[in-house]
Chains A and B, each alone.
Chain A
């Protein structure tokens, strides 16, 4: 087996191994360290000796031994060592019987952890990424990420393993997966490869949750949203990194296989699961994906979906997006009136996206001076360089 195939296999096994150990021993921090050591041992041993028949069992045994070594070296814990050693033998058959991966997600997304810590811990414990890989993805020094992970693990010491799943935390898990995807999709600087890795990892982990909870509409919705968004990756930027807005994207570059999968996922779940925000967003993405261009897009349907989204998950950004759809259906003035209704809303007041949409609608309405002013305002407000360049170019283009 090639080293990269071994690595893929290890990343699949890692969360199950960690889940088994944490379920038995509590002590998330010690178990996580032991699993990382076992993974390292496997990276050396497997390409040389071949992959064992039961890779998960091999890893559980190896990690169990590391735990025993660890506790043996702590004098105060001497009495535990016999117990652990005995348990390590028992763990192997258990590994195949139960899958604790979902519980591991819930543990990593513990509400007491900050969101960056939840993200880091999920990538490390469930994703099996090394600290160096996670640090590189988020463009922070490895020492910073190591400290963040270490503190998160310490914080979880003594936390009960959420047996049977704490479904109330599923929302936090999905949010963390969404943020990992967003980091890869909208990205903070750095080599492109890292960012694509991160969206791929977010999709892989969401597939994992989807596999564990195939009937949950929001899990399916989030997976569909990610797959559909990712399908546009090649068309979103030009070769030199400039941003291409949706209306101007070369749709022949969209990934058809991904669109087919995303549309199938969202169609299936909408027909049988209770409606939720991720499903609605993926449904909107699906309508865009199925249209040949902006003009033939079914804006009326998109407007209906935004209306529902605005009702079940009200949020000023949804209102801004709804204004765009309404403008397509009823003209720019109707959209501008919706934007005016947000005046004084602190959550969105001064946000560059509001200014950018206003600029676009003013341009459509023929108010070129107002549009130029709004484009410039939006350009100054964004924290994204390609977006700033794009908005400045629009401002220059309007009525010059």
Chain B
């Protein structure tokens, strides 16, 4: 089963981290990536730029409008993701718990199943 582990980032929380904590997060991600590769559960991962660098293309009154900035202004935003292929939702939750972000107050990892493009018989 494929899941997207979405890292929900909050800049205020990140800014408040000590140098040591930030270092721990960085090395924690390297260890996590290595563990995922070794277990064969890794499909891909990407870190995303700050929402201030986003451009949003949206429909407005029947026209397509391009604006600077994210789709939704919020404190939390998607900072990056891991796309994994693992045995069950329980395992995906377990993997999410291994991401260093999940151990920092105010940050979170969202676990969302990936939709299939072909269906079951009713």
| Shortest Cβ distance from residue A349 to the other chain B in the assembled complex, whole angstroms | 14
Q: Which of B35-43, B59-67, B68-76, B102-110 contacts A (4 or more CB under 8 A)?
A: B35-43
Please give me the 3 A-B residue pairs with the lowest Cβ-Cβ distance, nearest first: A148-B40, A386-B119, A189-B117
Interface status of B97 (Cβ within 8 A of chain A): no
Q: Are B122 and A383 in contact (CB under 8 A)?
A: no
Q: Are B118 and A189 in contact (CB under 8 A)?
A: yes
Contacts of B42 in A (CB 8 A): 141, 144
Q: What's the Cα separation between A141 and B116 when bound, in Å?
A: 17
24 contacts between A and B (CB under 8 A): A114-B87, A116-B40, A116-B85, A141-B44, A143-B37, A144-B37, A144-B40, A150-B40, A188-B2, A192-B118, A241-B118, A246-B121, A246-B122, A382-B120, A383-B113, A383-B116, A384-B115, A384-B119, A385-B118, A385-B119, A386-B117, A386-B118, A387-B119, A387-B122
Interface status of A232 (Cβ within 8 A of chain B): yes
Interface status of B31 (Cβ within 8 A of chain A): no
Contacts of B24 in A (CB 8 A): none
Partner of A186, one of B39, B113, B116: B116
| Shortest Cβ distance from residue B118 to the other chain A in the assembled complex, whole angstroms | 4
Contacts of A117 in B (CB 8 A): 40
Interface residues of A in 357-393 (CB under 8 A from B): 382-388, 390
Specify the main secondary structure of chain B where it touches its partner.
loop
A229 and chain B: residue at smallest CB distance: B121
Q: What's the Cα separation between A138 and B86 when bound, in Å?
A: 11
Interface status of A356 (Cβ within 8 A of chain B): yes
Q: Are B122 and A243 in contact (CB under 8 A)?
A: yes
Contacts of B120 in A (CB 8 A): 186, 243, 382, 384, 387
Q: A115-B87, A245-B121, A384-B120 are in contact. Are A141 and B43 (CB under 8 A)?
A: yes
Interface status of A54 (Cβ within 8 A of chain B): no
Question: Interface digits, A223-244 against B, CB 8 Å rule (1 contact, 0 not)?
Answer: 0000000001000110001010
Q: Are A188 and B121 in contact (CB under 8 A)?
A: no
Q: What's the Cα separation between A144 and B33 when bound, in Å?
A: 12
A357 and chain B: residue at smallest CB distance: B122
Interface residues of B in 8-42 (CB under 8 A from A): 37-42
Interface status of A301 (Cβ within 8 A of chain B): no
A249 and chain B: residue at smallest CB distance: B121
Question: Interface digits, A146-169 against B, CB 8 Å rule (1 contact, 0 not)?
Answer: 111111000000000000000000
Interface status of B114 (Cβ within 8 A of chain A): yes
Q: Are B119 and A186 in contact (CB under 8 A)?
A: yes
Interface status of A102 (Cβ within 8 A of chain B): no
| Shortest Cβ distance from residue A94 to the other chain B in the assembled complex, whole angstroms | 34
Interface residues of B in 72-103 (CB under 8 A from A): 85-87
Interface set of B (CB-CB < 8 Å, partner A): 2, 37-44, 85-87, 113-122
Q: Are A188 and B122 in contact (CB under 8 A)?
A: no
Interface status of A195 (Cβ within 8 A of chain B): yes
Interface status of A140 (Cβ within 8 A of chain B): yes
Q: Are A147 and B38 in contact (CB under 8 A)?
A: yes
Q: Are B39 and A385 in contact (CB under 8 A)?
A: no
Contacts of B44 in A (CB 8 A): 141
Q: What's the Cα separation between A140 and B37 when bound, in Å?
A: 12
Q: Are B85 and A383 in contact (CB under 8 A)?
A: no
Q: A144-B42, A148-B40, A188-B2 are in contact. Are A384 and B121 (CB under 8 A)?
A: no
Q: What's the Cα separation between A134 and B61 when bound, in Å?
A: 47
Q: What's the Cα separation between A159 and B23 when bound, in Å?
A: 42
| Shortest Cβ distance from residue A183 to the other chain B in the assembled complex, whole angstroms | 10
Q: Are A144 and B43 in contact (CB under 8 A)?
A: yes
Q: Are B114 and A383 in contact (CB under 8 A)?
A: yes
Contacts of B37 in A (CB 8 A): 143-144, 147
Most chain B beta carbons < 10 A, residue from A145, A236, A356? A236
| Shortest Cβ distance from residue B90 to the other chain A in the assembled complex, whole angstroms | 12
Given contacts A140-B43, A144-B41, A383-B113, 12 further A-B contacts (CB under 8 A): A116-B87, A117-B40, A138-B85, A140-B85, A141-B43, A145-B40, A151-B38, A186-B116, A236-B121, A246-B122, A386-B117, A387-B120
| Shortest Cβ distance from residue B92 to the other chain A in the assembled complex, whole angstroms | 12
A324 and chain B: residue at smallest CB distance: B122
Contacts of B39 in A (CB 8 A): 147-148, 151
A243 and chain B: residue at smallest CB distance: B119
B118 and chain A: residue at smallest CB distance: A187
